[in-house]
Amino acid sequence: MPDRRQPDSPTDDNPFAAPPEGRPDQPWQPRRGGGDGPGGGDGPGRKDPEGGGRGGPARWDPTDPVQRRARYALLAGMWGFFFGIFGIPSVGLLLGALALYWGISALRGRPAKPESGEAGRNAPGGLAALGDAARPQRTAAVSGLVTASLAILLALSSYAVQLTYKDFYVCRDDALTNTAELQCNTLLPDNVLGDILKVRQ
């Protein structure tokens, strides 16, 4: 049978292949990075010297007060909103206020290790000091501000209702029997809010 030889495969990507005929030998050099760009330096696999991929999210640094406050704002705002829905306005108001403080501090705070000299005084503060890699922390801080505002709004609304219909709440708390408690419904207005607050049989 005739000898069927396979066509020669390209050796451009083979670092151990012999140079083509007529080309002088060149000293071996290690490849840099791992990308597909020229020299492998600008490819998608290149890592930033500060850690993490170029343009990727910043790594969680628990020693950085700016990043801590952004996470605290998200957690406190979320739980404050839940307590407001569950009818515990005091806790919701407290957590909402804390989340509001932490969120603003994270967005306007100073970096953990400011540079000295004129460059340090002109450097951006807060999450802006982390550049484009601060997107997750900025999202957490903004989400904490939104949920904190909702928690405070729910708490203030609950207190406003209690003050407006104080006679109803006093009557309900002082009622000794279910019949007396049902009579407190006459102190509520005949609207949707009254239907929600009235005592059920």
115-154 confidence digits (pLDDT tens) = 555 555 565 555 666 666 577 788 888 999 999 999 999 9
pLDDT value at residue 156 = 92
Distance CA 153, CA 148 (A): 8
Closest CA to 87 of 188, 175, 196: 196
Q: What's the pLDDT score for residue 189?
A: 79
Q: Which pTM value belongs to this model?
A: 0.57
pLDDT computed for residue 129 by the predictor: 62
User: Can you list the residues of the chain whose pLDDT is less than 70?
Assistant: 1-15, 30-61, 110-133, 201
**Are 15 and 29 within 8 A, CB to CB?**
no
CB contact at 8 A, 147 and 99: yes
CA distance linking residue 17 with residue 179, whole number of Å: 96
pLDDT at 40: 46
Task: Report domain extents, the chain.
Answer: 62-112+123-161, 165-201
pLDDT for 46: 47
pLDDT at position 91: 93
Question: In sequence order, which residues have a C-beta less than 8 Å from that of residue 188 and are 6 or more positions away?
Answer: 165, 168, 194, 197, 198
CA-CA distance, 55 to 36, in Å (whole number)? 17
Which distant-in-sequence residues (6+ apart) come within 8 Å of 125 by Cβ? 108, 109, 110, 111
pLDDT above 70 covers a percentage of the chain that reads 62
CB atoms closer than 10 angstroms to residue 57: 15
Contact 114, 123 (CB under 8 A): yes
User: What is the structure's pLDDT at 83?
Assistant: 92
The 3-class secondary structure across the chain, one letter per residue, is CCCCCCCCCCCCCCCCCCCCCCCCCCCCCCCCCCCCCHHHCCCCCCECCCCCECCCCCCCCCCCHHHHHHHHHHHHHHHHHHHHHCCCHHHHHHHHHHHHHHHHHHHHCCCCCCCCHHHHHHCCCHHHHHHHHHHHHHHHHHHHHHHHHHHHHHHHHHHHHHHHCHHHHHHHHHCCCHHHHHHHHHHCCCCHHHHHHCCCC
